[in-house]
Amino acid sequence: MLRIGNHLPSSKGYLAMAKHAEKLGANTFAFFTRNPRGGAAKAIDESDVEKFLAYTKERDIDRLVAHAPYTMNLCSVKPDIRQFGFNMLKDDLQRMEYTPNQYYNFHPGSHTGQGTETGIEQIAAALNQILTPEQSTIVLLETMTGKGSEIGGRFEELRAILDHVELQDKMGVCLDTCHVWDGGYDIVNDLDGVLEEFDKIIGLHRLYAVHLNDSMNPCGARKDRHQKLGQGHIGLEGLIQVVNHPALKGLPFILETPNEDEEYAEEIRMMREACQW
Ligand code: FE
Ligand code: FE
Ligand code: ZN
């Protein structure tokens, strides 16, 4: 069965998110670990986590893809911003262990003028200081559009970060369909070719999750404006190909589309119906 869900509000805690996911017909979901603009995280409520773990186990809600705050930039030219990101990443990964064996996805960062190579080194250096052999969470680098000084718009850049990280088995990649499309990878006309390239450069064994979004813009536009499934330039057929691609079978597909609950439930239902697994 297709593993699919959407990005949910986290303010009411873990059990509330699991119930919310179930209501939408989802069997996975994403959430921000704290305010998406950063800042202090709410304390973990251990009894909530306990109920959440029992609830999700019974219903096979799994492979959560937590999302780091957008303000986390491990390769800013400003040291205080790098430190702010470092602190959030470290704290978030400790919190993730309350819900073991899930994924934590982050935007690699924007080098803000330092150059891609320096950016890559700074991102990897932070990861090397924070990752531990004991952690059960897999940390995912998200594929980006490459707008501005964003790192991760090319598969080669993600590979370079991974190469610099010592604890390789704690790392992976999350492929965002809107981002790769906007970044110039034509997943509509050549999905096989794009995934072959991903495999050659990064390795498909390192792909743990997919963000399933349509795009408001044409391939290569580098804009990063998500659209509802089937209402953008990728289109429904293109997205259906993605959920049915054998190389992506079993991965969690997370919707980050501009929708209300009812529309999310409809997108989930629609993709389930179109999926052959
Ligand atoms: Fe993201
Ligand atoms: Fe995304
Ligand atoms: Zn995006």
Residue 40 pLDDT = 84
Q: Taking the CB of residue 233, how many other CB atoms lie within 10 A of it? A: 17
Point out the ligand nearest to the CA of residue 175: 2
Distance 58 CA to ligand 3 centre (A): 32
Distance 168 CA to ligand 3 centre (A): 25
In the chain, the number of structural domains is 1
Distance 106 CA to ligand 1 centre (A): 6
Give the domain range for residue 198: 3-274
Distance 7 CA to ligand 1 centre (A): 10
Report pTM: 0.98
Distance 47 CA to ligand 2 centre (A): 30
Point out the ligand nearest to the CA of residue 70: 1
Residue 157 pLDDT = 98
Burial of 36 (0-12, 13-18, 19+ CB in 10 A): middle
Cα gap 255→253, rounded to integer Å: 7
Cβ–Cβ < 8 Å for 28, 271: no
Distance 9 CA to ligand 3 centre (A): 17
Give the CATH number of the domain where residue 112 resides. Answer: 3.20.20.150
Residue 269 pLDDT = 98
Distance 106 CA to ligand 2 centre (A): 9
Distance 179 CA to ligand 1 centre (A): 9
Distance 72 CA to ligand 1 centre (A): 11
Mean pLDDT by runs of 10 across the 277 residues of the chain is 97 97 98 85 94 98 97 97 97 97 98 98 98 98 98 98 98 98 98 98 98 98 98 98 98 98 98 96
Residue 36 pLDDT = 81
Distance 104 CA to ligand 2 centre (A): 12
